[in-house]
Structure 1
């Protein structure tokens, strides 16, 4: 399986990798800094650069056939043969927006759970905005306005975002992580933990910023009543 290098360092903008296989427009690598669409966070895009030129990476996802990370490119015929090295180059502006919004979503979800016992039932993060669905019976804009206000107070404290790995058994003993971690396949022996001390802790595989201050200002865009126990919050970050 492809090594997800970004899980150790989400700030890598370029990286050398080796082509393992090419299947149609799908490219499989030994390592990658491209985040595949997962966990409600959209995929990275960018380029693969080699001696003869470059191709654009237009989509990244977990391949249904192999379970490995597939990098979909715009012109696979230009690529060198498997075994060759390519330089991976991220669309950094897109990635950094996703990181800021992703960490903001963690803060918002923690506040909604702590203050209103509301769990996330769905969501999506794009470079432009994110949304999350919460298991709320009551629907008032004031609830979300207060949550965003509290979230921005956390952002202003510039708290370090800690990322580390724990053995599965140890992670399962942490309140708040259990629900997510218990869904992991039994063969997953270690879980990647994302912790904002005093605010949130959960098992998570996506890219995040190093400190809450990097988020900027969280903006409430709109709220929607999507039905019983499903209230949707749309948000963005500025600048």
Structure 2
């Protein structure tokens, strides 16, 4: 099994790894800090360096229980490489990702609303909620910004599935089946939110900055989409 470095430390920008397989779709490493995307969060990009030669990593995806790195060059099985994450892109998505958890928690706890879909890119995020009044989402963004200012540490830890399932609201995405694995990764913002989640997050809410509402769209009955970004 590949060592997924981002699961325990989202701040690793550079790492050493060995190429264990070369396939038509890309290369597989014995360990990686590249997030393969998932849960609406886009994948990382960056580069692999070998003998002072830079090979761009243009896409990373989970495929057949492996993490495949699509590259624009050639590598061979057994090659030792230095992986370098596009940190500006990653960090932007980390801030938006943690912001999305705060927003989802307020929607769930105060308004009984759940996320029905969403996407996070480096530039902005969008989330769909099963709410009727779009003003609710504006209020949620304002409340989320108040929480960010409290400088709350974000905790990441692991729990057996049976224990995690006992936590109310552990999965806040409507229609999402709980992870079918024995050990769940939990992301907790104490007093605010706790969710099963596999993606990178910031260590403290203060790193998010300020959530800026872009717009709210009506996507049908009891379905509103909110677009937002973060500013320092």
Pair in the same fold by TM > 0.5: yes
Where does residue 214 of structure 1 map in the other structure?
A: 207
- Match in the other structure for 1:70: 68
Matching of residue 116 in structure 1 with residue 111 in structure 2: yes
* Aligned counterpart, 2:229: 236
Q: In structure 1, what is the Cα distance between the partners aligned to 2:138 and 2:222? A: 18
Partners of 1:222 and 1:178 in 2: how far apart? Answer: 26
Q: Which residue of 1 aligns with 2:133?
A: 139
Query: Do structure 1's residue 106 and structure 2's residue 104 form an aligned pair?
Result: no
**Mapped pair 1:45 → 2:39:** no
Match of 1:19 in 2: 19
For residues 87-106 of structure 1, what are the structure 2 equivalents within 5 Å?
87-106=82-101
Could you tell me how far apart the structure 1 residues matched to 2:172 and 2:117 are?
Answer: 15
Report the CA distance between 1:116 and its aligned residue.
Answer: 1.3
Task: Tell me which residue corresponds to 2:150.
Answer: 157
Structure 1 CA distance for aligned equivalents of residues 200 and 114 of structure 2: 21
Aligned to 1:55: 55
SS of residue matched to 1:83: coil
Q: CA deviation at 1:139?
A: 2.8
What do the CA deviations read for 1:140-174 (whole angstroms, capped 9, x no partner)? 3x212211110001100000000000111111111
- C-alpha offsets along residues 15-46 of structure 1, whole Å, 9 cap, x if unaligned? 00110111134111111000011010001110
In structure 1, stretches of 5+ residues that fail to align are: none
TM-score by length of 2: 0.95
Give the corresponding residue for 1:4.
4
The SS at the match of 1:9 is coil
Partner Cα separation in structure 1 for residue 114 and residue 53 of structure 2: 47
Q: Structure 1-normalised TM-score?
A: 0.92
For 1:222 and 1:196, the matched residues in 2 are separated by 26
- 1:144-223 aligned within 5 A: 144-177=137-170, 183-185=178-180, 188-223=181-216
Could you say what the CA RMSD is over the residues aligned between the two structures, in angstroms?
1.5
Contact 1:45 1:59 (8 Å CA) reproduced: yes
| Deviations, residues 119-138 of structure 1 (Å, cap 9, x unaligned) | 001000000000000011x2
CA displacement, residues 156-215 of structure 1 (integer Å, 9 cap, x when unaligned): 000000000011111111111167796222xx2210000000100010000000000000
